[in-house]
Structure 1
Amino acid sequence: MRMRRVWRRGFIEDPIMLDTMLDVRALRTDGDLPMVVEPRDAGVPIQAAASALHALAEQYLPTCGGVLFRGFCIDGDAAFREFAASFGHSLLTYEFGSTPRSKVAQGVYTSTEYPPHQHIPLHNEQSYTRDWPMKIWFYSVQAAPEGGETPIADSRRIFARLPQALRDRFAEKGLMYVRNFGNGLDVPWKQVFNTEDRAEVEAYCRAHRIACEWKDDGELRTRQVCQAIARHPVTGDWVWFNQAHLFHISNLEPDVRETLLDVVGEEDLPRNVYYGDGSPIEEDSLITVRHVLASEKISFPWQNGDVLMLDNMLVAHARAPFKGPRKVVVAMAQAYGVDH
């Protein structure tokens, strides 16, 4: 449908844009995630349209959870950063990250730098912690010639489709994430905490209820008990909100799992997860979770210049394997957490 009134309301003081209109539609015929917003005329700078896009995001994010801004002119990473920051919240740094990525600009990072052949399962950003961003943006600078999609899924639907007994058990017990940094097996702690000062690491951990210990080899082990489900502070919706299926050793290929257990043992695995009381999570439960996640996955090809904005609690995201060059950068904002 044409959104002339929304556009005009957003730019009533900008005569240059008065006659420009936006098209708003659902990308898919069988659901409204994501909604797509496109300018009727080519070459509209995304910063110039920001006021109208803010109004549309405010309208659609609480309901469908994701908006794809497509067909706008974006002049590189700096313009993307300016657009993300224009929503009124300071962009966040990537603290206590679980995957390798590089800083592109203040508040802008590369997407996870895993090898192109690897699939990254659906997850909500930083749902393995007690603090997370409420908003996340993905900017497709260069779409891969083959693959490389960023699949998404409605976390409310995932929660609703999981067996109630499983949901109740996870909610009651919570989850304990155990991480062993460095040793060539995982991201070094100096990179994760953006410091070489052990005292700063310890202070961060105390502030975020993370138990930490320095091992004899100088590396770091952390444990943190976190939520398995969460309630959205605005919509009131319950969502499946954790990364147990990613951190658990069962996420590894059998040969990799066996090798790691032989080399370092369970205690020193780069990452693993237990129930909050330290008891093991049943692999059958995680198989059920992965099945539901797969059944809810929504995938679409990137186009160069696309910006996907998600409510990070309402919508999970992933990454498909790809071939050829690909560049997708990420920004996050509006910190929130269970202790707020």
Structure 2
Amino acid sequence: MDQLLAIDMDFCTDNSDCRVHDMSAQKQSGLAWVKANTDLINDWVNQDGLALLRGLNIVSTHQFSTILETIFGEPLKQYVYRSSPRTALKNNIYTTTEYHADQVILQHNENAYSNSWPKRMGFFCVVPATTGGNTPLADSRAVYNHIPMRIREKFERLGVMYVRNYGDIDLPWQEVFQTQSKSDVEQYCHANDIQFEWVDGDKLQTRQCRPAVVTHPSSGEKVWFNQAHLFHCSSMDSAVVQSMRSSIGEANLPRNAYFGDGTDIDPQDIAAINDVYRGLTFSYQWQRNDILLLDNMLYTHGREAYSGPRKVLVGMA
């Protein structure tokens, strides 16, 4: 089997330690090869935090979901308490975030704003973009270590409060919670330590406090694990934010982030965090049929702007 595996540094856009496993030479179907090598694949992810499987023959979305369930050893997770628009396909496979092609999606660990998140994620490139469109990655351990100590210690001490207002600007609560029932939303919030308030009858605001730093359950290492930089209003275009503040008030912004005690986060601290991410991010050039496996606690992901058609799917466990 060794002759079928390769780690090719040329696939990376910088000098980071890449983990690309090229199976182009093997003649089995992608699913057959994965079933025969599940332990090996999990060893790669456990050791490196990620693995890019290249050259597998994958013919359908159903086969991709079966491949992920074989590797993860459990059914895929339904995506509830959403933060971005997606299309649900069969077997808990989803499109990646459907923002406009000219928009960059900042680095994030999936569902880090929640008390429930996927441990493993798998991405499947069906159609690579004509230009751009790659999925940048960053090591959450390195992010933790590179954030200035003054900022890191305050976040670690206070945590993050995520505030969301659903509806007119952000996703409607019916899409986020995947239900039409207000009582279902309330039950979910009670079960997941989310404070909620119904405003004007049918509008929903939620607040949830979460740690900014967590400890990886296997390695015992501290990782930067939050989405303060995504939720904070300074990440939006400043003119748009000022306009919304004037028209609806800061408390009604579609989303915002504060320290866990409710105090403001300095926009300069958010800028410093984004600078750390930019300095540590690397990416692979997507190729058709690539499968990228991530430990969601160890690695963040994002999306480059792109041109042309692009289709990348995701499953979580």
TM-score range, shorter chain: over 0.9
| Contact 2:109–2:301 under 8 Å retained in 1 | yes
Q: 2:209 aligns with which of 201, 218, 225?
A: 225
In structure 2, C-alpha distance between the alignment counterparts of 1:258 and 1:57, rounded to whole Å: 48
Where 2:111 maps in the other structure, the secondary structure is coil
In structure 2, C-alpha distance between the alignment counterparts of 1:147 and 1:43, rounded to whole Å: 30
Q: 2:159 aligns with which of 170, 174, 182?
A: 174
1:143 aligns with 2:128: yes
1:206 aligns with 2:190: yes
Once the two structures are aligned, what percentage of the paired residues are identical?
38
Residue by residue over 1:179-208, the C-alpha shift from the partner in whole angstroms, topping out at 9 and shown as x without a partner, is 00011x011100111111111100000000
1:252 aligns with 2:224: no
Where 1:325 maps in the other structure, the secondary structure is coil
Q: 2:141 aligns with which of 132, 156, 166?
A: 156
1:15 is matched with none
In structure 1, C-alpha distance between the alignment counterparts of 2:244 and 2:30, rounded to whole Å: 47
| Contact 1:43–1:71 under 8 Å retained in 2 | no
2:110 is matched with 125
Offset of 1:300 from its aligned partner? 2.2
Offset of 1:57 from its aligned partner? 2.9
Distance 1:75 1:40, change over 3 A: closer
In structure 2, C-alpha distance between the alignment counterparts of 1:54 and 1:31, rounded to whole Å: 25
Where 2:30 maps in the other structure, the secondary structure is coil
Offset of 1:301 from its aligned partner? 1.4
Where 1:125 maps in the other structure, the secondary structure is coil
1:98 is matched with 83
In structure 2, C-alpha distance between the alignment counterparts of 1:270 and 1:228, rounded to whole Å: 21
- Structural mapping, 1:69-108, within 5 Å: 69-87=53-71, 88-108=73-93
Where 1:55 maps in the other structure, the secondary structure is helix
**Partner AA of 1:263 in structure 2:** S
Where 2:278 maps in the other structure, the secondary structure is helix
In structure 1, C-alpha distance between the alignment counterparts of 2:2 and 2:7, rounded to whole Å: 7
| Contact 2:16–2:282 under 8 Å retained in 1 | no
In structure 1, C-alpha distance between the alignment counterparts of 2:7 and 2:131, rounded to whole Å: 27
Q: 1:314 aligns with which of 298, 301, 304?
A: 298
Where 1:41 maps in the other structure, the secondary structure is coil
Residue by residue over 1:116-166, the C-alpha shift from the partner in whole angstroms, topping out at 9 and shown as x without a partner, is 100001110011111100000110000011111111111111111112222
- TM-score between the two structures when normalised by the length of structure 2: 0.95
Higher strand content, 1 or 2? 1
| Contact 1:231–1:238 under 8 Å retained in 2 | yes
In structure 2, C-alpha distance between the alignment counterparts of 1:82 and 1:52, rounded to whole Å: 14
- Structural mapping, 1:43-54, within 5 Å: 43-54=27-38
Structure 2 unaligned spans of 5+: none
1:292 aligns with 2:291: no
